[in-house]
Amino acid sequence: MLLKKNQFTIIFWGVRGSIACPGTETVRYGGNTPCLEMRVGGHRLIFDGGTGLRVLGQSLLSQMPINAHMLFTHTHWDHIQGFPFFTPAFVKNNRFHIYGPVAPNGSTIQQRLNDQMLNPNFPVPLQIMGSELNFFDLEIGRPIQIDDILIENALLNHPGEAIGYRVNWQGYSAAYVSDTEHFPDRLDENVLFLARRADVLIYDATYTDEEYYSEKSSKIGWGHSTWQEAIKIAQTAQVKKLVIFHHDPLHNDDFLDKVGEQVAEKFPNSLMAREGLSIQLMPAFNGPENNSEVNTVKEVKISA
């Protein structure tokens, strides 16, 4: 399948954090862990490899051969567990360019994806994948260029380190900020940098303020943020659309419905991430200072 060169579309394949949680109470938003697809200027960008990556992989089987760029924020389990089950990676003539920062202990993205597939954790090694896999170590703070797409990154506040991404193309921009924890006394300058006047900000809002600051079960130091902090970032950075992401596995559909209502009251141009959600960025007008706006939001049918 040929990707459209005049397209900037974001599709959500996994929106849940920490652990996959399929079940009757997570049907509307989905239970798969993080995976986003961005179709930008004729290129396919895949962010993170949670269990949502397996579902994306099934959808790509009818579109082969596949040439895609895969960018990882970090390698905690919920962001890589779908990689060993990503069927297109086992198929010859497919090609994947895989990016990730070097971990604090010096291990590369290739080493970490390889290690999770070693015995006794997994029955087959990474080397059995039949596609072409090209690995690249990202330098934190140094952008990469894919044709006319500029992808920036910045360090996030997360145990073991993680990075966020900002995709820039033809005056359009989308920021993907997961996983991160806000600071108690200031807004994170790195997050503000990624989110600056973005058309779309996808932000880790795992908790509510009540949960985060709970005296009985505080989530301070766990590496995640709240929807209240997401709004502060979106307002300060003058974001056009805010997407609440990385839902806690304990938050069922009804709970997330209520969160969505509360977010919309404070920041009307907002969405709750759900599997199958598709956001298309289109030009607002034609001119020398061509900005963009999100003018199409729809659902993509996802089959297990």
pLDDT band per the 50, 70, 90 thresholds, residue 304: very low
**Which residue type is seen at 278?**
S
Percent residues over pLDDT 90 in the chain: 90
Question: Does residue 294 register a pLDDT over 60?
Answer: no
Q: How confident is the model at residue 283 (pLDDT cuts 50, 70, 90)?
A: low
pLDDT value at residue 5: 87
Superfamily of domain covering 8-299? Ribonuclease Z/Hydroxyacylglutathione hydrolase-like (3.60.15.10)
Average pLDDT over residues 82-94: 97
pLDDT averaged over every residue in the chain: 93
Grade residue 287 by pLDDT with cuts at 50, 70 and 90: very low
Give the pLDDT confidence score for residue 195 in this predicted structure.
Answer: 98
Burial 150-168 (b: 16+ CB within 10 A, else e): ebbbbbbbbeebbbbbbbb
- The strand ranges marked E within the chain are 8-14, 35-40, 43-47, 67-71, 95-101, 132-138, 144-146, 149-156, 162-169, 172-177, 200-204, 241-245, 270-272, 277-283, 292-299
Mean pLDDT of the region 33-44 = 97
Please report the pLDDT score of residue 2 as a whole number: 67
Residue 297 has pLDDT above 60, yes or no: no
Q: Is the pLDDT of residue 296 over 70?
A: no
pLDDT tens for each residue of 226-275: 999 999 999 999 999 999 999 999 999 999 999 999 999 999 999 999 99
Beta bridge partners of 43: 40
What is the band of 3 on the pLDDT scale with cuts at 50, 70, 90? Answer: confident
Name the pTM for this structure. Answer: 0.93
On the question of pLDDT at 48 being above 70, the answer is yes
